[in-house]
Amino acid sequence: MTDVAVHRPGLRSWAELLVCELKMVARDTAGLIVPIGLPILILVMNASAAGRQELAHGRTALDVYVLPLVFTMVVATTGIINTPSFLAYYRRSGILRRLAVTPASPAMVLVAQVAVGVLQTGLGIAAAWILALLAFDAQPPVRVGAAVGVVALTTAAMYAVGMIVAALAPTPNSAVAIGLALYFVLGALGGMFGGRDSLPGAIGAIGEWLPFGAAVEALSAAWSGAPVAAAHLIGLSAGVVIGVAVAAAFFRWE
Amino acid sequence: MPGNATSIAVEAGHLHKRYGSTVAVDDVSLSIDAGEIFGLLGRNGAGKTTTVELIAGLRRPDRGTVRVLGLDARRDRARLRQVLGVQLQASHLHAALTVTELVRLYRSFYPAPLDAGELIESVGLTASSRTRFAALSGGQQQRLSIALALAGRPRVVILDELTTGLDPEARRQMWSTVEDLRDSGVTVLLVSHAMEEVERLCDRVALLDAGRVVALDSPAGLVRGAGFAQRVTFRATEPVPDGLLERLDGVERVRVDGDRVVVEGRGDLLQAVSVGLVRAGVVVTETRSRQATLDDAFVALTGRRLENEEEATP
């Protein structure tokens, strides 16, 4: 009777779950407004305020300061606020509990959620980028490869932070509350409400190492053609490692 | 003891589970034979769902052990998930996915699943296969939930509140599905607070009250524990002469409460009581007769009725 071989769901099963999650998102039209509408809104609000004078390599303040901030905010919003609250809803409604009595693993659900979130974020960034190009004469980053790499690393870091929230929040309500609080703390320390230069020295320095501040700085550097500082890459990587470790250790089905 | 393990499908030993100061499960031991339909019957809050969650490995017991087909519910979880199908009470599925999409998803978790079309057909959802979960009726959602529990060809199935919220027709369909399962050699653990369901389906039943197993027997054996086989009640418009009823054939106990009379006993009690009263010229009304049920056994054991809505007034 104990001759049951361990069988883990294969790639086909992962793909099936991913498709299901995509359908869930695509059929929830209201849920698409934040990741796609928000970046465009932030861009429009900030673009006209940014000065037109060139800072370096023909890039303006819009390119060097506004776009990195907008892109970071998009990634942080879906990663730290949306995904944890979606998972919290799954947990409350018993969907995760139902999956927990099948051979599906929690990792499958987390990965599918992240993949869908990343896709949504990608759509949002693409929409904002096209609008910035057409309406505000935005310039591409001087170092495109570095910029793409930083966005990818930022995405990983923000979702890892979101997974900490999903793993540790005891209730769906607290998941949203903790996610929002964390988002605003990281954002404030990272220059979301005005430059980090205006923060007290020590706090500003800490903010530069945290994922939000590190992402804005690194992306800004890539855009203006400056080298990306190691400190920012280390800060983002540390976010990824810590987030994955905490989520893997503490995530529960219910 | 490998020889022993082949005949026992589920073995729970001295399970304890406490939530804060509430003891949900208090020293529950069960041994379910392979191929039987085993009922777990009790009032709401008796600890049925917690017991099932411990057996399914969803919760860790404070004390005690669970083995399903010889697999430890916590340590061998990965293997257990492949041989155990679970239909959980009040758990939802992805609301925006259709019946077919959900069946495809859950099938994909198992190495040798049942055919999707046959599975949907077996729970009578073929006509609704393109309907989203959120748009299904309660009964249809329940049937889908059961289909998903069977998707991986489990050898043991746990069904929690199988027919709650179903109409009589759907309920009968569900019962025949469960009987088909037993016929194919699957072991079923059926959680219920519906006596009729348990009496009809189960080979053996454990009665749970306040976290403890208060009785464990076949439904017929439990009913014998009610202390009577037949009960006749009536209203007497005039006093019944002393000792008249007690002398009748098969009468074991008589209780008089104002003009309401309860006679308990065995054999053809209604016939004996009616004839006896007519001979004595006593006119009675509202005569009712019924056989002892699991509910009566439950009252005899716990002093309370099984169904919440009719609280016992002894």
| DSSP, residue by residue, chain A | ---PPP----HHHHHHHHHHHHHHHHT-GGGGHHHHHHHHHHHHHHHTTS--SEEETTEEHIIIIIHHHHHHHHHHIIIIIIHHHHHHHHHHHTHHHHHHTSS--HHHHHHHHHHHHHHHHHHHHHHHHHHHHHHH-----SSHHHHHHHHHHHHHHHHHHHHHHHHH-SSHHHHHHHHHHHHHHHHHHTTTTS-GGGS-HHHHHHHHHSHHHHHHHHHHHHHHTPPPPHHHHHHHHHHHHHHHHHHHHH----
A interface with B, Cβ–Cβ < 8 A, is: 1-2, 4-9, 12-13, 16-17, 20, 23-24, 27-28, 93-95, 97-98, 100-104, 253-254
What DSSP character marks residue B245?
T
Give me the pLDDT at residue B309, please: 44
| A2 assigned to some structural domain | no
A·B CB contacts under 8 A? 92
Q: How confident is the model at residue A15 (pLDDT cuts 50, 70, 90)?
A: very high
Give me the pLDDT at residue B299, please: 83
B interface with A, Cβ–Cβ < 8 A, is: 2, 5-6, 56, 58, 69-71, 76, 78-79, 81-84, 86, 88, 90-97, 101, 104-106, 108-111, 132, 145, 148, 152
- In tens, the pLDDT along A36-70 reads 777 788 788 887 777 677 777 788 888 888 889 88
| A3 assigned to some structural domain | no
Q: Where are the domains of chain B?
A: 8-83+154-224, 229-291
Give me the pLDDT at residue B152, please: 93
Q: How many CB atoms lie within 10 A of CB A126?
A: 12
Residue A111 vs residues A108, A161, A241, B90: alpha-carbon distances, Å:
5, 14, 15, 26
Residue A186 has pLDDT above 50, yes or no: yes
Of A23, A24, A97, the CB nearest to B91: A97
Distance in Å, alpha carbon of A97 to nearest chain B alpha carbon:
7
Residuewise pLDDT in 10s, chain B (314 residues): 444 445 899 999 999 999 988 999 999 999 999 999 999 998 888 899 899 999 998 889 999 999 999 999 888 888 999 999 999 876 678 888 999 999 999 999 999 999 999 999 988 899 999 999 999 988 888 889 989 999 999 999 999 888 777 788 888 888 888 998 899 999 999 998 888 889 899 999 999 999 999 999 999 888 887 778 889 999 988 888 888 888 888 898 898 888 899 999 888 889 899 899 988 888 888 999 888 888 888 888 888 877 654 433 33
Tokens 């080979």 correspond to what residue?
Answer: B203
Residue that wins the pLDDT comparison between A214 and A36: A214
pTM of the model: 0.79
When divided into structural domains, chain A yields a total of 1
Of B58, B81, B105, the CB nearest to A103: B81
Residue A248 amino acid letter: A
Give me the pLDDT at residue A88, please: 81
Copy the structure tokens of residue B169.
Answer: 């027709």
Is A6 in Cβ contact with B91 (below 8 Å)? no
A27 to chain B: which residues are within 8 Å by CB? 96, 132
Copy the structure tokens of residue B31.
Answer: 């041994």
Catalogue the E-assigned strands of chain B: 8-19, 22-33, 37-42, 63-68, 71-72, 84-87, 156-160, 187-192, 204-209, 212-217, 230-236, 251-257, 260-265, 284-291
Do B136 and B99 contact (CB within 8 A), yes or no? yes
Give me the pLDDT at residue A51, please: 66
Task: Region of B281 please: left (phi>0), alpha (psi -120 to 50) or beta.
Answer: left
| A105 assigned to some structural domain | yes
Residue A5 has pLDDT above 80, yes or no: no
Give the C-alpha separation, B273 to A196, whole Å: 94
Do B179 and B159 contact (CB within 8 A), yes or no? no
Is A1 in Cβ contact with B84 (below 8 Å)? no
Residues in contact with B68: Cβ distance below 8 Å, sequence separation at least 6, in sequence order: B9, B10, B11, B55, B80, B83, B84, B156
Give me the pLDDT at residue A105, please: 78
Nearest to A119, CA basis, from A147, A159, A84: A159
Average pLDDT taken over every residue of chain A: 85
Tokens 């049951």 correspond to what residue?
Answer: A4
- The complex's ipTM works out to 0.78
Give the C-alpha separation, B91 to B145, whole Å: 9
Q: Does domain B8-83+154-224 have CATH number 3.30.110.30?
A: no
Specify which residues B233 forms β-bridges with.
B262, B288
Give the C-alpha separation, A253 to A233, whole Å: 32
Count of positions (residues) in chain A: 254
Residues in contact with B115: Cβ distance below 8 Å, sequence separation at least 6, in sequence order: none
Specify which residues B288 forms β-bridges with.
B233
Distance in Å, alpha carbon of A242 to nearest chain B alpha carbon:
27
Residue A191 has pLDDT above 50, yes or no: yes
Give me the pLDDT at residue B313, please: 37
Give the C-alpha separation, A233 to A217, whole Å: 10
Give me the pLDDT at residue A16, please: 92
Nearest to B60, CA basis, from B8, B20, B18: B18
Give the C-alpha separation, B277 to B281, whole Å: 6
Distance in Å, alpha carbon of A10 to nearest chain B alpha carbon:
8
Is A101 in Cβ contact with B81 (below 8 Å)? yes
| A219 assigned to some structural domain | yes
Of A1-10, A14-23, B281-290, B294-303, where does mean pLDDT reach its minimum?
A1-10
Is A28 in Cβ contact with B70 (below 8 Å)? no
| A134 assigned to some structural domain | yes
- Cα A135 vs. chain centroid, distance in angstroms? 25
Is A94 in Cβ contact with B94 (below 8 Å)? no
The string of DSSP codes covering A149-197 is: HHHHHHHHHHHHHHHHHHHH-SSHHHHHHHHHHHHHHHHHHTTTTS-GG
Residue B85 vs residues B106, B139, B204: alpha-carbon distances, Å:
11, 19, 20
Q: Find, in chain B, the residue whose alpha carbon is nearest to that of A2.
A: B70
B92 to chain A: which residues are within 8 Å by CB? 93-95, 98
Of B92, B97, B148, the CB nearest to A93: B92
Residues in contact with A49: Cβ distance below 8 Å, sequence separation at least 6, in sequence order: none
* A147-164 per-residue burial string, b: 16 or more CB within 10 A, e: under 16: beebbebbbbbbbbbbbb
Give the C-alpha separation, B131 to B101, whole Å: 10
Residue A171 vs residues A79, A178, B72: alpha-carbon distances, Å:
18, 10, 30
Give the C-alpha separation, A29 to A19, whole Å: 16
Give me the pLDDT at residue A1, please: 47
Beta pairing, strands B204-209 & B212-217: antiparallel
| A193 assigned to some structural domain | yes
Domain range for A152: 12-250
Of A4, A8, A28, the CB nearest to B83: A4
**Region B229-291: CATH code:** 3.30.70.100
| A68 assigned to some structural domain | yes
Residue A160 amino acid letter: A
Tokens 């014998």 correspond to what residue?
Answer: B224
B96 to chain A: which residues are within 8 Å by CB? 23-24, 27-28
